[in-house]
Amino acid sequence: MTVETLIIENEAALAGLAARLAPLLKRGDVLTLKGDLGAGKTAFARALIRTLAGESVDVPSPTFTLVQVYDFPSFSVYHFDLYRLEGKEIDILELGWDDARRDGVCLVEWPERLGALLPQDRLEIAINFHKSNETVREIALKPFGAWMARAAMERAAEKELS
Ligand SMILES: Nc1ncnc2c1ncn2[C@@H]1O[C@H](COP(=O)(O)OP(=O)(O)OP(=O)(O)O)[C@@H](O)[C@H]1O
Ligand SMILES: [Mg+2]
């Protein structure tokens, strides 16, 4: 499997990556956001949602609500933070997981909590601290299932442009 690893210097660069990904998204897509506590999973989701919605939209962390929903013309974005769930499928379903999968694009922080509900087709984004500097992050993009072909196409298109 091809894993793309990027060194991201600061939060603006992370937002740039989110802005590159946002136009590729379509209904049914799942992005899982993994990595260190406080590394920038919510910051990434916020930048992505703001690319779709405009800078002024408020994007709170779903730490306590567990899910926040944003409606756009072609899909809704469901931003989950499952940290506080104990991996109980029933709770995840009560949060509207089935609707989210059917109608939406899902951004999932702490996807480990999904257990058997973890979708096969997904782009995993791991954000971790980098020792060089407080604002530097190492990002690994790992496509699974149908995302493998999409990631390969994306790389080919980038090569053609460069
Ligand atoms: N390169 C960077 N990318 C992302 N966030 C950064 C970066 N540099 C500094 N930050 C800061 O790091 C913090 C990241 O917090 P954020 O809530 O996004 O983390 P998180 O991974 O969602 O945490 P949690 O595990 O608690 O959900 C923010 O305060 C942000 O301003
Ligand atoms: Mg978070």
**CA-based nearest residue to 81, from 70, 67, 93, 71:** 67
- Cβ contact 143:30 at 8 Å: no
Residue with CA at minimum distance from ligand 1 atom 7: 11
Q: Ligand 1: which residues within 6 Å by Cβ?
A: 8, 10-11, 14, 37-43, 61, 81, 109, 135, 137
Mutation choice for ligand 1 from 8, 34, 42, CB with most ligand atoms inside 8 A: 42
The CA angle 162-130-18, to the nearest 5 degrees, is 45
* Mean pLDDT, range 15-39, rounded to an integer: 96
| Contact call for residues 108 and 34 (beta carbons, < 8 A) | no
Place of tokens 């973890």: 118
Structural domain spans, the chain: 1-71
* Ligand 2 centroid to residue 63 C-alpha, Å: 7
- Check residue 161 and give its pLDDT: 73
Ligand 1 atom nearest to 13, measured from its CA? 1
Statement: residue 41 has pLDDT above 70: yes
pLDDT digits (tens, 9 = 90+) for 102-154: 999 999 999 999 999 999 999 999 999 999 899 999 999 999 999 998 888 87
For ligand 1, mutation pick of 7, 9, 11, 125 (most atoms within 8 Å of CB): 11
Helix (H, G, I), strand (E, B) or coil at 129: strand
Q: What is the widest separation between alpha-carbon atoms in the chain?
A: 47
Going by alpha carbons, the residue nearest to atom 23 of ligand 1 is: 38
